[in-house]
Structure 1
Amino acid sequence: MTPHDAEILKLASALKVPPQRFGYLRQVPLEDLRRFREQVTGVLFDAHLGVLQRMAAASKLLPSPLLARMAQLVFGPLLSARIAGLVDPARGVDIARRLPPAFLADVAAELDPRRASGITAGLPERVVSAVAEELVRREDWVTVARFVDHLPGSTIVASLEFIPDAALSHIAALLDDPARIAYLVSLLPDDHLGAIPGDLAG
């Protein structure tokens, strides 16, 4: 996977369209393509920000078990992901741990981890591992890579047992921060080090 292919795949994932539609973007300089993808993500998450902020504020009045139920039955994954970055992290963790892994995987696919870093960093390892296992089952490497970019090392290590070696090179190629590739390699057991090619691992 080339760096252009990785950026196009991440853009297509954000917009929920086939990556083939963006083949022409291979002619765009890589930094411009990355900047465009980040701008698209920003626009998507900032849409209706005022309404989302009011919803997040109103959620303080409701108990976590009720909010967890509403997230599944009323809000759905997309709206839950947008609100996640606006709630108190401890509150977000309390709600997330009450949700089933399949729903959290749906939310993760819609989430910008940079906006909910307090929640993702505070989730129990068992919750993250269960979500990682579900994302691996779906072969959603774009979402896995987004979270490898932001999760603490201990949580990544706990999730690695669910990720097949064959997928590690795809995940490494999709990481936003090149320094995280070397970090990911440093977390791998010795018998898995060859799963990430040397040209990616540096």
Structure 2
Amino acid sequence: MSSDVEIRKLARVLGAPPERFAYLRDVPVADLRLLRDQVTSALFDAHLGALERMAGASKLLPSPLLAKLAEKVFGPLLSARIAGLVDVSRGVDIAKRLSPGFLADVAAELDPRRAAGIIAGMPAPVVVRVARELARRQDWITIARFVDTLPEATIVASLEVIPEGALPRVAEMLDDPARVHYIEDLKAR
């Protein structure tokens, strides 16, 4: 993986254009990945107490209402931050009620490591609809971030909605280059 790819991922986390970080091109890829992980942790942990209280309070409301609140009030960033703090079954129940477009927005803001249980528990048809939306947006970074978290059958189903020519772009964004062969093998099935 090139430093340019890691810089694009870091820029995504920070919500800034990749050009702003061009001065990092000579930094080793492993160091850029560590920086990205540290920045992600710092951003997700910045208001952890308040987010934990919100996640706790969410237990008091029915899932359909929380889904409406997520889309109309909380927005994708706050929803992504809270996702890793709610009970897995509850998180899945809420997420499957969200529109594919909103879920794609949340996925772009989400740290998959923090919501791995919810991601893995999502029904394949919901994930496929989100993958279709992300492919329409050409958001290869977000698609690649979920390869390590989704069940194999869900990845296979999602590959059907990702254009063949886009797979190299997705593969380029994978953190683990060995996963490229994994995706190629799944696609060949």
CA offsets 1:142-199 (integer angstroms, 9 cap, x no match)? 0001012321111110001111121111111111122322211110126xxxxxxxxx
Unaligned segments of structure 1, at least 5 residues: 191-202
Query: Does residue 142 of structure 1 match 2:123?
Result: no
TM-score between both structures, scaled by the size of structure 2: 0.97
Could you tell me which residue of structure 1 aligns to residue 188 of structure 2? Answer: 189
Q: Determine what percentage of the aligned residue pairs are the same residue.
A: 67
SS at match of 1:148: coil
The residue type paired with residue 41 of structure 2 is G
User: Once structures 1 and 2 are overlaid, which stretch shifts more, 125-134 or 12-21?
Assistant: 12-21
Could you tell me which residue of structure 2 aligns to residue 58 of structure 1? Answer: 57
C-alpha distance in 2, partners of 1:164/1:104? 20
Q: Which runs of 4+ in 1 moved over 2 A?
A: none
CA offsets 1:103-123 (integer angstroms, 9 cap, x no match)? 000000000111000000000
Could you tell me which residue of structure 1 aligns to residue 73 of structure 2? Answer: 74
Structure with greater helix share of residues: 1
CA offsets 1:69-104 (integer angstroms, 9 cap, x no match)? 110111110000000000001000000111110000
C-alpha distance in 2, partners of 1:137/1:119? 23
CA offsets 1:30-81 (integer angstroms, 9 cap, x no match)? 2111111110111111110000000000100110011001101111100000
Unaligned segments of structure 2, at least 5 residues: none
Could you tell me which residue of structure 1 aligns to residue 107 of structure 2? Answer: 108
C-alpha distance in 2, partners of 1:30/1:98? 38
TM-score between both structures, scaled by the size of structure 1: 0.91
Could you tell me which residue of structure 1 aligns to residue 17 of structure 2? Answer: 18
C-alpha distance in 2, partners of 1:98/1:30? 38
User: Once structures 1 and 2 are overlaid, which stretch shifts more, 159-168 or 75-84?
Assistant: 159-168
